[in-house]
Structure 1
Amino acid sequence: MINQVRFITLELTMELLEYQLSERIASITINRPEKRNALNPELISALTIAFKTAVADDDVKVIVLKANGEVFSAGADLDYLKHLQNNTEDDNLTDTNLLKDLFLIIYRSSKIVIAQVEGHAIAGGCGLISVCDLIFSVPEAKFGYTEVRIGFIPAIVTCFLLRRIGEGRAKELLLSGELIAAQTAADYGLINFIYPKEEIAQAVESFARNFIQSVSANSVALGKELINSVQDLSLEDSLSLAVKMNVETRSSVDCKKGISAFLNKEKLKW
């Protein structure tokens, strides 16, 4: 069977980003290797459009975020940093909201989002992967939030990193600006899997293919919503939400199909 690959032209600058859909996997690839895949408002806007497109597409079940070149992302673009010195408060508010909106779209995505990190992820680049659901990395990659070293703070990502790795580790990374190795990042719970450079692409694809075939998209969407929501609620309120979503899931088409297949010992293809 021929692997059907669809290259999609979105309303974004294709020089900044590549978007590809193949067998329910949407691959979003940052394409500024000559700038170490640094972030600027144009790239952030392009990423936002790409993620919105993938989330809204019923043909997509997994989203993979990756980057061309030797560095995943070095953080803010140097030209953009120079421009920041002349920004008004309104300019800074607009830029900050752009990043906040992108992080929220990724974090709240109803689809699972996998970061495939084949180079250093630093400052805003590390923030970008921190809001993904799962992170695959090569052993050589380094991670860190270095904003404090230029008199800045990684403000937006702080809200997400506390949820991911807890207060103690978050303070260590966010306040020191130190870079850590991939194995340390895994030990801290920042990343999930480490694979050699020559194996990581296949590892991500294999995980995604198995995920697509073995789990219900509806269950993933509801599960992510529950996980994201209960952290902001009291125990009683979180349990009330869990009861509501449990009832909702039981009456879904996917649940009825899954139970029927299990009882009839049928292999289910999601």
Structure 2
Amino acid sequence: MSQYQTIIYNKTERIGIIQLNRPEKRNALNAQMVQELTLVLSEIENDDSVQVVILKGEGKVFCAGADLQYIQDLQKFSYEENLADSEALKELFLSIYSFPKVIISQVHGAAIAGGCGLATLCDFAFASESTKFSYSEVKIGFIPAIVSIFLTRKVGEGKAMQLLLSGQIIMANKALEYGLINGICSDEDLEDEVVAFAKKLIKETSMEAKANTKHLIHTTWHLPIEDALNVAVKANAAARATDDCKKGIASFLNKEKLQWDE
């Protein structure tokens, strides 16, 4: 069903599965992959049959960062061309960050530089125990500019500075400690556990409520407390009038077990 060249997209049981598909290049990012990831997210956003998205990689690693040929090509770009290229990466990361449906990254092998950003920017990230993580840009004289904005919000300034300035490689257990990922699975069980978690979200939680919660968090974190609370009050009142809320409350009061995938 996939119409893309650098990724594979399939869906099953209300789960959209995006697979980075450049295994011969360790799923390294290039301009085409960035564009195709942005396009497939737009496709999924408008597909009511998909409630949760899983992002994973084909081959031995999740994503090794930017493609070496791509990096070499950037050296020949003008400032305006590099600006346009950076805008494309920004749009992809912003699409993931603000995506109304839950996105889960299934990370194995390694997630390096931009690949690390791609993995940890998702709402949930689960990694196999042998996975290596690194924001390695400073080691080649580059800066992790775009991802730094999201990483600082996710783990705080102190941990972000430590990861971004050192370029250090950390294992999955340290990534969990830092808050980069949400869980660790054995290499053999990773895929099954991620799919099971996705199905659990679909079955036990309202899609509408999840989308509204994500939107509220993303649009209020930077506001002064009083302004943020005023937005939250309005969101609270609006949520009470939604069909999902009425359905959920009725089920709770009637002591009925509610399954949102029905």
Q: TM-score, normalised to structure 1's length? A: 0.95
1:54, distance to aligned residue in structure 2 (A): 1.2
Separation in 2 of the partners of 1:194 and 1:9?
29
Match of 2:116 among 113, 126, 150: 126
Q: Does residue 1:27 correspond to 2:17, yes or no?
A: yes
Separation in 1 of the partners of 2:152 and 2:40?
26
1:142–1:179: 8 Å Cα contact kept in structure 2? yes
Q: Give 4+ residue runs of structure 1 displaced > 2 Å after superposition.
A: none
1:61–1:112: 8 Å Cα contact kept in structure 2? yes
Q: Does residue 1:162 correspond to 2:155, yes or no?
A: no
1:263, distance to aligned residue in structure 2 (A): 1.1
Match of 2:103 among 105, 113, 122: 113
The equivalent of 1:174 in structure 2 is 164
1:66–1:117: 8 Å Cα contact kept in structure 2? yes
Output one character per residue of 1:108-149: Cα deviation in whole Å (capped at 9) or x when no partner.
011010000011000010011121000000111111111111
Match of 2:208 among 188, 194, 218: 218
Q: TM-score, normalised to structure 2's length? A: 0.97
Output one character per residue of 1:171-203: Cα deviation in whole Å (capped at 9) or x when no partner.
000011111111001001111100001101111
Q: Does residue 1:244 correspond to 2:222, yes or no?
A: no
The equivalent of 1:3 in structure 2 is none
The equivalent of 1:91 in structure 2 is 81
Q: Does residue 1:9 correspond to 2:2, yes or no?
A: yes
1:266, distance to aligned residue in structure 2 (A): 1.7
1:103–1:128: 8 Å Cα contact kept in structure 2? yes
Work out the percentage of aligned pairs sharing the same amino acid.
49
1:226, distance to aligned residue in structure 2 (A): 1.2
Output one character per residue of 1:179-235: Cα deviation in whole Å (capped at 9) or x when no partner.
111100100111110000110111111111111010001100010011112211110
Separation in 1 of the partners of 2:93 and 2:46?
16
Paired residues, what number?
260
Gaps of 5+ in 1: 1-7
Gaps of 5+ in 2: none
